[in-house]
């Protein structure tokens, strides 16, 4: 995903795309950063949404309680971190000539 994001951004720059088009870089950057942060923080947001986890013994359901709240909070931090980082990188990409 990182290679695709960088290639897309490079294409926009080399083709002198209007700055408005550079905003489109947000989407691939967001997916790239979500993937990166999931790996870094060892959190799968899809499993967290389904109240499940995978601790190398296969997928298992997590019952309501402090553990599930912690898993969901970690997943929210992954998504929020990716949104903030993708927005910041996109803003710089749009504003730099």
Confidence of residue 97 (pLDDT cuts 50, 70, 90): confident
Whether pTM exceeds 0.95: no
Q: Is 63 helix (H, G, I), strand (E, B) or coil?
A: coil
Confidence band for 6, pLDDT divided at 50, 70 and 90 = very high
Model pLDDT, residue 47: 94
> What does pLDDT average to over the chain?
94
Classify 62 in phi/psi space as left (phi over 0), alpha (psi -120 to 50) or beta.
beta
């Amino acid at each position: 995903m990182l290679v695709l994001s960088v290639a897309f951004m490079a294409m926009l720059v080399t083709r002198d795309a209007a700055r408005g088009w550079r905003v489109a870089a947000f989407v691939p950057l967001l997916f790239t950063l979500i993937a990166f942060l999931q790996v870094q923080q060892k959190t799968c947001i899809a499993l967290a949404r389904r109240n499940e986890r995978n601790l190398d013994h296969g997928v298992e359901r997590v019952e309501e309680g402090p553990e599930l709240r912690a898993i969901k909070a970690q997943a929210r931090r992954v998504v929020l971190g990716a949104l903030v980082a993708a927005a910041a990188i996109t803003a710089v990409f749009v504003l730099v000539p």
